[in-house]
Amino acid sequence: MKGVPVPSRDTLLSVLQQACRTVSGHPVPPLDEHTDLHTLGLGSLQVMEMLVIVERELGVRLMDTEVAQARTAGELCDVIAACGPAVQMPAARTGQPSAPVSAAGQRPERADVTGTGHGDAPPPAGDRQRGLQAVVDLVRRTRVASPYFALHDGRPGATTVVGERTMTMFSGFDYLGLGSDPEVMRAAKEAIDRYGTTVAASRAASGERPIHRSLESALADFLGAEAAVAFVSGHATNVSVLGHLAGPPDLIVHDALAHNSLVQGAELSGARRRVFPHNDIAFLDELLTMERRHHRRAIVVVEGVYSMDGDLADLPALVALRERHDVMLYVDEAHSIGVLGPAGAGVTDHWGLPASVIDVRMGTLSKALASSGGFIVGDTGLITHLRQTTPGFVYGCGMAPSVAAAAHAALGQLRVRPRLAATARRRAELFRTLARDAGLDTGRSSTGSCVVPVVVGDDGVALELAARLGERGISVCPFVSPAVERGQARLRFFVSARHTDAQIHDAVTATAALLAGTGDATADSPVPQT
């Protein structure tokens, strides 16, 4: 600031924190340099009010064009520190602008634009474009081959073929190794012979086939629910169902690390959307205490196993909040069904709770169940409502018979071979233990999960490390900002029941050696340490 002392960073963050709390009327987690402004839970008008408070408290004039570029609290602090003293408040600050600009530079149609989730959740279009371009530029700067859209050949399993080279596969989530199981493939082939390759209509029209009903009945029975409905896409399941279940009178509260599909569904619904810090049950409790009474219904949305971090939602604590605040509990079990629990029946199996404690239970067919698509299980009334009214189901073409048959057969294999889930968990625990013993940062990855990140921090390091591992015949995908928070770049290893101890040892040893700078002798230089 010109002519006046620049406040300390802590002071700037404190002013932002207090301003956010003042205008929001609900708890706000502590801000730090990396806090994504989209996770503060503010509508666009509230953002304007917050900035007015900041201007008044610090004696600065903030320009919308500069504020719009700030994505994090640290970046907004930079903007504030670079501003001169306030001379006159801009006219837009004293009245309600016709098209308010949020701190993220987005002009929303609704005045309730709130948090995004882990990096899987969508920033505004402009930020998305800048973020994607940043990844492209980063790949160019590191001079490594892009790790994305690699052409894989052959069947899924513990190995894959890329460019005619056989590699150990840690970048796919065929957790139980059923993607190339003979019984699963036979069922898919027989379904094609009987029904053809498509049902050629929505299921409500003429696309209903016996295999659809058999699959849904088996899913409901396996998960202890009254009924199930299957969709053609896991991502579309969350978007369509969550977007359909709630409306403007309602409240949706989701974990800060919720998957993109959950955030998209919440946005589509038009409901009031709030974000709570990852797995922070106390914060969620306080937020619901303040917000629940103002809404017709409330839905709390979490994941059974978080796909980027590999940790678990605290289901018993969430169930207690469900009863205390009269909310619906929506659990995305994409990465937990088939893996968690003695029988592989997901979070309720893992925690020893009845299936009825979850109101809406979502799962995918593309992971442990070796096919493609998504599904919802719940009570008969809910499933009947979704079957008859959900736009993504009623107006979309039905699932291909071969896809449904493959999932049905995979579920059958899980039921007759219950040790598959335990084998997958044991393999993942071996990876986690070896990685931690080798000094690798596996983040929050929890026992029971088959998702094991290796957090390296720097985006460039993650890209180069993935490339070097590829040279050693290990396929693993890097995740960099904006897919994850800045400074949290990682490789994400998916461990399956088909991986051998030797493959796991080799992957951990190679990763640790490359990070330590003692790895692949054919590389031009070691991967820099973080």
CATH number at 75 reads 1.10.1200.10
Pair (346, 375) in one structural domain: yes
Pair (495, 398) in one structural domain: no
Separation CA 444–CA 180 (nearest Å): 31
Residue 109: pLDDT over 70: no
Structure tokens that stand for 172 in this block: 């796919």
Per-chain mean pLDDT for the chain: 84
Pair (245, 350) in one structural domain: yes
Pair (297, 397) in one structural domain: yes
Pair (475, 408) in one structural domain: no
In a domain, 254, yes or no: yes
Using 50, 70 and 90 to split pLDDT, how confident is the model at 42?
Answer: low
Write the Ramachandran bin of 310: left for phi over 0, alpha for psi from -120 to 50, otherwise beta.
left
Pair (366, 433) in one structural domain: no
Residue 85: pLDDT over 80: no
> Over the stretch 233-245, which tens digit does the pLDDT of each residue have?
999 999 999 999 9
Least confident window among 59-63, 330-334, 521-525: 521-525
Using 50, 70 and 90 to split pLDDT, how confident is the model at 405?
Answer: very high
- Angle CA 222–278–10, to nearest 5: 175
CATH number at residue 430: 3.90.1150.10
| Phi, psi dihedral angles at 493 (to 5 degrees) | -95, 125
Q: Identify the pLDDT of residue 412.
A: 97
Using 50, 70 and 90 to split pLDDT, how confident is the model at 135?
Answer: low
Q: Where among 385, 416, 447 does a domain terminate?
A: 416
The one-character DSSP state at 271 is -
Greater confidence, 528 or 256?
A: 256
Q: Identify the pLDDT of residue 95.
A: 30
Separation CA 371–CA 457 (nearest Å): 33
Place of tokens 């101890």: 501
Using 50, 70 and 90 to split pLDDT, how confident is the model at 141?
Answer: low
CB-based contact 70:34 (threshold 8 Å):
no
pTM of the model: 0.76
What are residue 454's DSSP bridge partners?
491
DSSP string, 135-202: HHHHHHHHT----TT--EES-SSSEEEETTEEEEE-SS--TTS-TT-HHHHHHHHHHHHHH-S---SB
Pair (405, 423) in one structural domain: no
In a domain, 20, yes or no: yes
Q: Identify the pLDDT of residue 151.
A: 87
CB-based contact 479:490 (threshold 8 Å):
yes
Pair (20, 53) in one structural domain: yes
Separation CA 450–CA 179 (nearest Å): 16
Q: Identify the pLDDT of residue 126.
A: 46
Separation CA 67–CA 53 (nearest Å): 14
Q: Where among 361, 381, 416 does a domain terminate?
A: 416
Separation CA 158–CA 184 (nearest Å): 17
> Over the stretch 251-280, which tens digit does the pLDDT of each residue have?
999 999 999 999 999 999 999 999 999 999
In a domain, 116, yes or no: no
In a domain, 521, yes or no: no
Amino acid letter for position 115: G
What are residue 479's DSSP bridge partners?
490
Using 50, 70 and 90 to split pLDDT, how confident is the model at 136?
Answer: low
- Range from 140-154, 320-334, 481-495 that averages highest in pLDDT: 320-334
Pair (91, 162) in one structural domain: no
Domain extent, residue 512, equals 133-173+419-516
CB-based contact 311:446 (threshold 8 Å):
yes
Number of domains in the chain: 3
Grouping H, G, I as helix, E, B as strand and the rest as coil, residue 102 is coil
In a domain, 152, yes or no: yes
Separation CA 346–CA 220 (nearest Å): 13
In a domain, 119, yes or no: no
In a domain, 276, yes or no: yes
In a domain, 115, yes or no: no
Pair (202, 68) in one structural domain: no
Pair (427, 405) in one structural domain: no
Average pLDDT over residues 331-353: 96
The torsion defined by the Cα of 445, 450, 451 and 456, in degrees rounded to 10, comes to: 70
CATH number at residue 388: 3.40.640.10
Q: Where among 393, 416, 439 does a domain terminate?
A: 416
Least confident window among 113-117, 146-150, 267-271: 113-117
Q: Identify the pLDDT of residue 41.
A: 67
Tell me which residue of 264, 474, 230, 255 sits closest to 362, measured CA to CA.
Answer: 230
Pair (296, 391) in one structural domain: yes
- Omega before residue 482 within 30° of 0, cis: yes
Average pLDDT over residues 306-323: 96
| Phi, psi dihedral angles at 357 (to 5 degrees) | -75, -15
